[in-house]
Amino acid sequence: MGGQVAAVREPTGAIDTNRMDLAAVGTAAKLARVFAKHTAKKWQLSTATCEMAEFVISELCGNAIKATGTIATVGPRDEPTQIINLRLALLKTRSIMIEVEDADLATPKIQDGLEELAEGGRGLFIVQALSKQWGFYHTVNGRKVVWAEIEAIRANSPGEVR
C-alpha cells in the first residue's frame, strides 16, 4: 500500500515498458484492454497472464475514469477532459508492473462489509487477490498513481499467445 508523495517512479529492473495516455471517458477501459492485449502479445505472455493483466488494467482504469472522468455530452463543457496515464513494465522479477495515474487525490480503498448481494464495490478486492502487491502514491505534480504488480508467465509456444 502507500499514500506518500513522490516523483513518478520508474520501475526498477524493467526489461521493457509500454505506455499510453487515455482521455478519461467511457471508452477508455476498453482501449486499455486492447492495449494490454497488444502488449501481452509483444511480451509473449501466456493467455492466463494476458487475461489477468486485462482485468487489472481495466479495473484500475475504470476507477480512474469514475474518479476523474466526464460523461460524454453534446455541446460545450465547462471542464476540460482529464487524461489518464497507463504505464506497463515487464520486470526481470517475472512481474508486470501496471500503473494508472489520474488527477484525483482521493484514496483508493478496498470496501469492507459489503452486502452479499451488492452489485459493485469489489474491484480493488479482486485486484488485490490477483496481484503480488498493489498500492498507490501521490505525485509531486499533484496527481495520483495506483499500481499493481502481477505475475508474468511467458507463453509456452508462440501459438499460445492470443
Ligand X SMILES: Nc1ncnc2c1ncn2[C@@H]1O[C@H](COP(=O)(O)OP(=O)(O)OP(=O)(O)O)[C@@H](O)[C@H]1O
**Applying CB under 5 A, which residues contact Mg ion?**
63, 123
Position of minimal CB gap to ligand X: 123
Q: Which is nearer to Mg ion, 46 or 63 (CB)?
A: 63
Q: Which is nearer to ligand X, 88 or 124 (CB)?
A: 124
Nearest CA-CA partner of 100 in 42, 30, 21, 31: 21
Shortest distance (Å) from residue 120 CB to ligand X: 4
Shortest distance (Å) from residue 55 CB to ligand X: 11
Shortest distance (Å) from residue 46 CB to ligand X: 25
DSSP letter string, 103-155: S--SPP-PPPS--TT-SS--HHHHHHHH-SEEEEEEETTS-EEEEEEEE--B-
Cell 504488480 appears where? 149
Q: Which is nearer to Mg ion, 49 or 63 (CB)?
A: 63
Say what the alpha-carbon torsion angle 119, 120, 121, 126 is, to the nearest 10 degrees.
90
Element housing 65 (H / E) = helix 47-68
Q: Which is nearer to ligand X, 57 or 146 (CB)?
A: 146
When CB distances are held under 5 to 8 angstroms depending on the partner's kind, the choice from Mg ion, ligand X, none that residue 149 binds is none
